[in-house]
Structure 1
Amino acid sequence: MANHPFEIDAFVLLPDHVHCIWTLPPDDGDYAMRWNIVKRLVSQATRNDIVPLLSASSIKRKELGLWQRRFWEHQIRDDDDFARHVDYIHWNPMKHGYVSRVVDWPYSSFHQYLRNGVYPENWAGTAECDRAHSARCDFGEME
């Protein structure tokens, strides 16, 4: 990764997808190269656990099954856009019903933000977020 540095500003890893915010060096917008590197390293690290679960066609195509072929990127416009996307990333496990409180999902940068005092422990872990389209938990998601 030394040749393609980046910082991970926020992330959440879910059973079927991942969300993250990266900061790349100035004048370097090559997200695709970094995704390829991340996919390769994670696939190598988990190969022994994943390969027994794959179908014959996936093995033939050398697809590990962890990754979609595509990704969607969004360039953060300003501080409000950044904050809204960080909130959405951290709220995502609740959105998909994996937990009833954000703090209960271990595979997220929420815990680092919590330690740094950005969020209270009960952030988004209230009944208001259980209701669809609640203004309190509207993180700008397009449906």
Structure 2
Amino acid sequence: MTSYRRVYIAGATYFFTVNPANRDTTLLVDRIDALRDAIGYTRRRHPFAIDTMTVMPEHIHAVWTLPPADADHSLRWRLIKTWFSRHMPQGERRRGVVRVHDWPFSTFHRDMKQGLLAPDWGGVMTARYDGAFGERG
């Protein structure tokens, strides 16, 4: 079992990278509506602001800000993961997207519409992602 060291500061802004146990899956994007429902379910019970979030086939990057008197980001992720897991079929094949602009499941599009980012922000990914990073890579 992985041993995590977590910081809990009420009202703080946190960066997360979260992935399913099986990294060879596309469930996060194949079932994006279920993921949105899981996040909505959690936010109704334990509010937080999503500053930015990108969902890829096998992992999520997110920046959240918690309410001023609340530091429990672990509870929120546990609720999201539990709700999502209960609504999942078996995974399918992985997809490849090479530009941020091409990726539909990102707050990039919101920020671009607000003039915060250019459509070509981030350039083009030239190397194929192989999933070999983090504590399991």
TM-score by length of 2: 0.52
Computing the radius of gyration from Cα coordinates, the structure with the larger value is 1
Q: Which stretch has the larger CA shift, 34-43 or 115-124?
A: 34-43
Q: How does 1:1-143 map to 2 (within 5 A)?
A: 1-44=43-86, 46-47=87-88, 50=89, 53=90, 98-126=96-124, 130=126
SS at match of 2:122: coil
Structure 2: gaps spanning 5 or more residues: 1-42, 128-137
The 2-side partners of 1:124 and 1:23 are apart by: 24
Structure 1: gaps spanning 5 or more residues: 55-96, 132-143
SS at match of 1:22: strand
Q: CA deviation at 1:101?
A: 1.6
SS at match of 2:77: helix
- Structure with greater proportional helix content: 1
**AA partner of residue 10 (structure 1):** T
List 4+ stretches of structure 1 deviating above 2 A.
40-44, 97-100
**AA partner of residue 117 (structure 1):** G
Q: CA deviation at 1:130?
A: 4.0
Name which structure has the greater RCO, CA cutoff 8 Å, separation 6+.
Answer: 2
Q: Can you list the C-alpha shifts for 1:3-38, whole angstroms capped at 9, x where unaligned?
A: 411011111111111110111001311011000111
State the identity %: 38
The 2-side partners of 1:42 and 1:115 are apart by: 29
Instruction: Calculate the aligned-residue CA RMSD, in Å.
Output: 2.3
Alignment length, in residue pairs? 82
- Structure with greater proportional strand content: 2
The 1-side partners of 2:106 and 2:57 are apart by: 12
Q: CA deviation at 1:104?
A: 0.2
